[in-house]
Amino acid sequence: MKMSKSIIYTALLCSFSLALSAPAAAAKVEQVFKFYCAQCHGLEGKGDGPNVSKTFPVDPRNFTKAKEMEKLSDADMKNVIMDGGPSASKSPMMPPWSKTISEADADALVKYLRKLCNCKGKGS
């Protein structure tokens, strides 16, 4: 009796975490974005986060401007996200994130930014 109870419990736990995992992936990238990117790029990605002041030498990219975002390939974006602005001859105001976020998070962020611009990258 004891045995079967714990099996049922385990089975319940498994189905519970399976049910959670799909929406969690979508929610997670939003959280990563809000946590690390929104202070500059804005919650909606318009480049108007609370961190941006008049002393910013360049405006953070507005991710909703398809015209600008189309010029970047997915690989370009991932590079800038991981290695920072200067890696693409852009401003060091765009920090490097490779020590902070995972490759998988960076890939998810690129997809997320494509949704914000509703555009495709150069060469894709």
Tell the smallest beta-carbon distance from residue 27 to ligand HEC (Å): 16
96 makes contact with ligand HEC (CB under 6 A): no
Let me know: does 72 contact 122? Beta carbons within 8 Å: yes
Task: Give dist(CA 99, CA 102) in Å, integer.
Answer: 8
Contact stretch for ligand HEC (CB under 6 A) within 12-20, 23-31, 89-97, 115-123: 89-97
Tell the smallest beta-carbon distance from residue 54 to ligand HEC (Å): 13
Q: Which of 61, 41, 64 is nearest to 51 (CA)?
A: 41
Site string for ligand HEC, 59-78 (x = CB under 6 A): -xx----------x---xx-
Q: State the first-to-last Cα distance of the chain, in angstroms, to the nearest integer.
A: 58
